[in-house]
A and B are shown apart, each in its own frame.
Chain A
Amino acid sequence: MTDDSTPLDGSDGPDAYPTGDELPEEDLLPDDISPFNTEPSGGSDINELATTEWIESTTADERIRAVLKRTVSSKPIREIADIAAVSETKARNTLNSLAEEGIVSVEQTDSGATYRRDPDRYLIEQIHQVSKSDDLVDRIQAAKSELADYHGQYEADAPEEVLVSDRTLTDDELRDISHWRTTLRDLAYLRAAYRIQQAKQQMPASSLERSKENSGPASAH
């Protein structure tokens, strides 16, 4: 049983590794960089070390935001605090102020409040990120062409049709389903982003200048 990608082409086989022309002429030696404040060694608890490193390079608020961003189903404060390596009091205070900003959804349960990322807010952030691209029309065409491939190959309109059908999917077909769903979602994002760009073009020039000043470089934030 294998769980990982089978090579699709030469770029994913065991022969895929950087060769001389991809690397600088002058070798970088291990002594030239110090990526970790505490040096890992054989026998050290890697997990603990990574956590220490994370704590040292971020604030508690940043870590809570990072954990919250991946919290799709509601979790109690204790769990979020534990993963973010912060105290429960700190997590509660930060999450409550993020809730006021609309970044967090809070649900009251019998055993206390639970928290998750606000799905609408997250969606809008993702679309805003895509709207910074300057080749949206090309990307939309590429997504449509990828979808057409799946429609043709599986003779189905939606990945769910294939999943509920009688056929047993191979690993590679299940990977197709994953990419099919990704393409469907991204096409929706790309189209929404295109509409945002169109809306921006309708704005007076002076307000566009202001919004440019406020937008930082592209990032995953």
Chain B
Amino acid sequence: MVLGNGTALDSNAILTSVNTVADQLGEGFLRARYKNTRHGEYEDTPVRPREARITVQPGIYREGGYFDIQWWANGDYKYHYREQGLEFRFGCEKANERTTHPVYHFHPPNELQTHVQSCIGANHPPERVTRAVLATWWAAVRSGDEAVLNTQDGLP
């Protein structure tokens, strides 16, 4: 099982997500870099990017963190947050329909093999998904506590 299930990356949705983070975070958005080829280096200019890496500040415990964002043509996505000593992911993986894992899932901090149901609604566009992911991150930043990332567990 792989995100995207073999479909092409969706550059436009990736760029829309970056613009949404920039709009939402203002000064908290430090920079975005892009992988424009599979094994290429990160570049400052996006040209049909395969992945965006956004540097944000502050972090949950540290001064800053990375959000790595990808979207695929089948609607799958990945938001991977990392700061020193902590990482978590939100994902949508349609191929999980054939497994026991939820399609919309959350990998809790430092338990990246665990799939928890994500509260992020189905079929939402990047503008809406990005804001939801940022809201969970921001709740953790405000409280200085990664545990609030999990408070969505009990939500429908």
Question: Which residues of A pack against B, CB within 8 Å?
Answer: 1-5, 8-9, 11-12, 14, 16-20, 22-24, 27-30, 32-33, 35-36, 39-47, 49-51, 53-54, 57-58, 63, 66-67, 69-70, 72, 79, 83, 126, 129-130, 133, 135, 139, 142-143, 146, 159, 163, 171, 174-179, 181-183, 185-186, 189-190, 219-220
Contact (A35, B125) CB under 8 Å given A23-B57, A42-B139, A171-B2: no
CA distance A54 to B152 in the complex (A): 19
A18 pairs with B55, CB closer than 8 A: yes
Give the shortest distance, in Å, between A52 (CB) and chain B (any CB).
9
Interface bracket on B? 35 or more
7 nearest CB pairs, A to B = A220-B15, A50-B132, A50-B131, A40-B139, A182-B8, A179-B38, A181-B8
Q: Which residues of A lie under 8 Å from residue B40 when comparing CB positions?
A: 142
The one of A5, A43, A67, A130 in contact with B125, judged by C-beta atoms closer than 8 angstroms, is A67
Give the shortest distance, in Å, between A121 (CB) and chain B (any CB).
13
A17 pairs with B24, CB closer than 8 A: no
| Additional A-B contact list (10), CB under 8 Å, known A3-B101, A28-B28, A42-B151 | A4-B80, A17-B87, A19-B84, A39-B142, A41-B148, A50-B135, A130-B47, A139-B48, A177-B6, A182-B50
B126-156 contacts to A, CB under 8 A, are 126-129, 131-132, 134-136, 138-139, 141-143, 145, 147-148, 151-152, 155
Quick one: CB contact mask for B57-93 with A, threshold 8 Å, 1 for yes?
A: 1100011111010001101001010111001010101
Contact (A23, B63) CB under 8 Å given A47-B121, A146-B37, A220-B19: yes
CA distance A156 to B66 in the complex (A): 37
Task: Name the CB-closest residue of B to A75.
Answer: B123
The one of B6, B19, B82, B139 in contact with A178, judged by C-beta atoms closer than 8 angstroms, is B6
B63 pairs with A66, CB closer than 8 A: no
Enumerate 15 A-B pairs (CB-CB under 8 Å) in ascending A order: A3-B96, A11-B42, A33-B27, A35-B25, A42-B145, A43-B151, A46-B119, A49-B135, A50-B120, A50-B128, A50-B131, A178-B7, A181-B8, A182-B8, A182-B9
Give the shortest distance, in Å, between B146 (CB) and chain A (any CB).
11
B72 pairs with A17, CB closer than 8 A: no
Q: Which residues of A lie under 8 Å from residue B64 when comparing CB positions?
A: 18, 22-23
A46 pairs with B125, CB closer than 8 A: no
